[in-house]
Amino acid sequence: KNEVEQSPQNLTAQEGEFITINCSYSVGISALHWLQQHPGGGIVSLFMLSSGKKKHGRLIATINIQEKHSSLHITASHPRDSAVYICAVRLMDSNYQLIWGAGTKLIIKP
Amino acid sequence: NAGVTQTPKFQVLKTGQSMTLQCAQDMNHEYMSWYRQDPGMGLRLIHYSVGAGITDQGEVPNGYNVSRSTTEDFPLRLLSAAPSQTSVYFCASSLAGTGLNEQFFGPGTRLTVL
């Protein structure tokens, strides 16, 4: 069993829909990252969470430490949101190493 | 700031050839790392460095060497390329020490080993 699991693996939605991507993990963590990988391959950090909720524009990330679960939400989705969204966790006993999920491929149709 | 730069963007090697993937950052970050990304899998850590002169192995270090002679540069060397090393390679950097550091990624190098 992978230590970090994302669901769904693939998601296709219509423009304007509310999107939820989930990340579950089985290890003790000090932080959780959400990143976006563009179709061209570039990877950009979206959020870094250790508790609660963060919001940036139409993106919202939440984390529940007790349930070992995080969600990334996109409101009023747009075709430019089409990308792979990756969850990664920083282990409790490490300042350096991340364990990565396999990613969720999101396609937003106009 | 250029951020994290990687060269080359594309490379084709024959089995047994050696080469070096270059990575540089201009943000004075202590922590640098190399990942490989294969279809359907998460990023896997190859090697990382917590500062100049200090390197350590990640999850999949075999077949790769690194060195960190300066804060800015972190080259990845393939000693004798194998088809299993066909992948996309990403270099990343971040500030070190607190455990809560945003990672900055280079644009990637797509390597094909024939």
pLDDT tens track for A29-69: 988 999 999 987 889 999 999 899 999 999 999 999 999 99
Query: pLDDT tens digits, residue range B41-62?
Result: 888 999 999 899 999 998 899 9
Rg of chain B over all Cα atoms, to the nearest angstrom: 13
Q: Which region among A21-25, A47-51, B10-14, B69-73 has the lowest average model confidence (pLDDT)?
A: A47-51
Helices (H), B23-113: none
Residues in chain A: 110
Residues B42, A103: C-beta atoms closer than 8 Å = yes
**Closest alpha carbon to B49 in A44, A29, A97, A31:** A97
How confident is residue A95, by pLDDT bands cut at 50, 70 and 90?
low
Give the mean pLDDT of B65-87: 96
How confident is residue A99, by pLDDT bands cut at 50, 70 and 90?
confident
**Residues in contact with B17: Cβ distance below 8 Å, sequence separation at least 6, in sequence order:** B80, B81
Closest residue in chain B to residue A90, using alpha carbons only: B99
Closest residue in chain A to residue B89, using alpha carbons only: A41
Per-residue pLDDT at B98 exceeds 70: no
State the pLDDT at residue A64: 95
> What average pLDDT does the structure give for chain A?
92
